[in-house]
Structure formats: C-alpha cells, structure tokens
Amino acid sequence: MAKRKEKTAEGGPRAGFWPLCAIAFPGDGSQARGVKSNAQRALRPLSRRQAMKLGLAGLVGTSLWPGWRSLRGGETGRPGFSFVAVNDTHYATARCGDWLRGLVKQMSTHAGIQFCLHLGDLTDLGKREHLIAVRDIFKELDVPFQAVPGNHDYVATDDRRPYDEVFPARLNYHFKHDGWQFIGLDSTQGQRYENTRIQPATFAWLDANLPSLDRARPTVLFTHFPVAHTVKMLPLNVDALLERFLDFNLREVFSGHYHAFTECWHRSAPLVTNRCCALVRDNHDGTKEKGYWLCSAAGDGRLTREFVGYRGAAPG
Ligand SMILES: [Fe+2]
C-alpha cells in the first residue's frame, strides 16, 4: 500500500493515507517510530477498503475529502479562544486536594481560558467524596468543567453511580463554543484497563446524535482511553468509533489513560495522549513531568496546544 507524507497548513505532518505517529515505547529503546513501522499497525478505520465500504472511496486522497475543508481557513469567522485539557488526576487523599488546588491556581494564571476538559480518572478509587472534592476544586477555575469518566472513576467493577451523580450528563455529550464543537465520549468498560470494548451505549449515543451535528464545523473529541492503534491499552473496538467521524472536520482527539505523551496523525487531526497530572500516580513512560495542555482554537479551524508543566504543590 502506498504511503505518503506531507506537511499540513499548520506545519505539522499528515499521513496521506496511513497515520504518522510519534510515541515513546518504554523498554524497547525507541523514542520515535516512523511511518513504516506504524503503518503496519495503522488506523484500520481509515483504510481505503473501509472507506469504500462506507461509499466514500472516491473522496479518499482528493481535495473533496471533508477533512481538507479544515485547511482552507476562515471556518468560523470568529477570533478564537483558549482552553485547558487535563487527564488522570487520580485524586485519592487530602494531599491530592492540595496538589490539585495548586494546579487550578496555576491554570487560572492563563488569561481568558474558556473551559477545562478533563479526560478521565478524576479520582483513583471512584469514591463519591473524592469526586466531590475534584468537582469543588475545579470550580475555583470559574469556567465550565467538561469531564468524561475513566476506569478509575468506577467505585466497583461496573458501578459508576457516584460519578454519574456528582457529574450528571457528563458521559456522552457535546457542546459548542465559538464556532467549534466538542464531543466528550465514555470509552470505558467498567474498571477494566486493557482489552476493553467501548460500550453499546456510547455507540447508540453517537448514532442518535451525530446526524444532527455539523460535519464541517471544526470538531474536537475527548475520551479517556486512547484511540490510536499505536498506543497501548486502546479499546479493541476503537475502529468503530473513528469510522463514525470519517466525514467530520476532526481537528484533534484528546485522550488520557496511557500516562505519557503520544501523538498519532489521522489525516489532519492529531490523536494525542498526555502525561498524567496526579500526585499518587506515575507516567507510564518513566518521565517525571506532570502537567496539562493549554490549547488555542482559532477562528480558521486551527488548533494549537502546548504542554504546561506543573511542579506541584505537594506538601512535604
Ligand atoms: Fe489513569
């Protein structure tokens, strides 16, 4: 299968057909893997064969492909805005509260952020009092707090009642902001952390709601589990999720769960995971940095992000 590598209008790489990924694999000595190795494990939902199944083969690789709309600029006609995205805070003790209050204090120094995405694992054990603590700490940011659950936000194997009660309607949902649309999805299967499957309720929500969304609008997904095939611990049926966004103007997918920076390009959209921002948990790649994304969504449909490190307010 032919592969090609191009530059996007944003200056980042885009795989013409296969994704291009940058990922650290702890233990195997590699810090970056190029197109060839990743192509062997490429994003199957983006294959020509599957596009043909969807009746979109004629659009693949041509300027008619919907994703190309995002490269033309002038998409929303608005000045743009900024937001933060954080994952895997794993609140477990009062000391974690001190840590997170320091985090929120640091986040509040970024002028003009409009909301905060939390990519799941708000807590370590899914306890109601811990979820309430996280909710109340992030209230200090004084912007909407848009969360999705992680596997650690279950209080028992398949029991997510405390999360559902403390964060109502924060499972599968979407919201619009200044011409962009953001879609939060539940990617969990109870407390399971690997070899999981995204549950039928998420797909049912997608099938009921995606038809009413604007496919041309710059779109951001956020999930707990990663969605790129190169990243460990992704759901077994992740292809079925990405297939549903094949003709959306997808600009970014933010995920957590794998506590490390990874980036895999899906056409013009990066699929990223980030280091955790927890006091009691480490990164899976052995790195020490904790932090979050500071993001800027421009009116022309471009999204930029930078990692902001957090040294923490951990008490001695
Ligand atoms: Fe986590």
pLDDT tens readout for residues 140-166? 999 999 999 999 999 999 999 999 999
Distance (Å) from CA 234 to ligand 1 centroid: 13
Distance (Å) from CA 67 to ligand 1 centroid: 31
pLDDT at 20: 52
Distance (Å) from CA 163 to ligand 1 centroid: 15
Distance (Å) from CA 52 to ligand 1 centroid: 36
Token couple for 64: 């008619």
Domain ranges of the chain: 75-309
Q: What single-letter amino acid sits at 47?
A: S
| DSSP code per residue over 240-270 | HHHHTTTTS-EEEEEE-SS-S-EEEEETTEE
- Cβ-proximal residues to 9 (8 Å cutoff; 6+ apart), any chain: 71, 73, 302
> What span, in angstroms and rounded, lies between the C-alpha atoms of 173 and 154?
19
CA 224 to chain centre: 7
pLDDT at 84: 98
User: Which one, of 38, 14, 12, 33, lies nearest residue 22 by Cα?
Assistant: 33
CATH 1.10.3720.10, domain 75-309, yes or no: no
Q: Which residues of the chain have a pLDDT value below 50?
A: 1-19, 23-73, 314-316
pLDDT at 169: 98
Share of the chain above pLDDT 90, in %: 72
Distance (Å) from CA 10 to ligand 1 centroid: 30
pLDDT at 125: 98
